[in-house]
Amino acid sequence: LQCISMLAWLREGRKIEGPHLILVPKSTLGNWMNEFARWCPEIRAVRFHGPKPDRAAFVRDVLKPGASRRDYDVVVTTYEVANAEQKSLEKVSWRFVVIDEAHRIKNEASLFARTARSLRAERRLLVTGTPLQNHVAELWSMLNFLEPETFEELDDFLEQYGDMQSAAQVQGLTD
């Protein structure tokens, strides 16, 4: 609901209508669509899911890569569809890309993490309630998604911030 509220604020308060992309687990896709309809029906949210022929029709008729005008504000899809339709999603200049259950990208080498990083977006948001498992590389993977220019290489991150065992190392991230 907080993410939907933020997108509503962008639309109403800042006149930023999208397109936005929300990447979610398959088990929550229906809930995301229901929450948009319930709490913010003025945001035109569309569900991108289904068998390959249906997805091809969606790309052609709804997503419209390269088009300057679209009939949606938000596309909600699953990690699996994002992986399968990566090339089409890469052709859209997204205002926001949101990843729900963002711990899915903590392994930077995973297919979904690579897909997510390939998407063009002005801004990125990670939503997660799952803590990192004391691996600094997991933290870097998430920071790299959010700020790829700042957190470009894992080796540089490890050299600069070490094992994150001291307050000074953590403070270095906020400076």
What pLDDT shows up at residue 159? 83
How crowded is residue 150: how many other Cβ atoms within 10 Å of its Cβ?
A: 10
pLDDT in tens, 28-45: 999 999 999 999 999 999
Share of the chain above pLDDT 70, in %: 97
What pLDDT shows up at residue 132? 65
What pLDDT shows up at residue 172? 75
Mean pLDDT of 106-128: 92
How crowded is residue 28: how many other Cβ atoms within 10 Å of its Cβ?
A: 15
- What CA–CA distance (Å, rounded) separates 159 from 174? 16
pLDDT in tens, 52-63: 999 999 999 999
What pLDDT shows up at residue 136? 80
Instruction: Tell me the sheet residues that pair with 75.
Output: 21, 46
Nearest CA to 49 among 23, 14, 73? 23
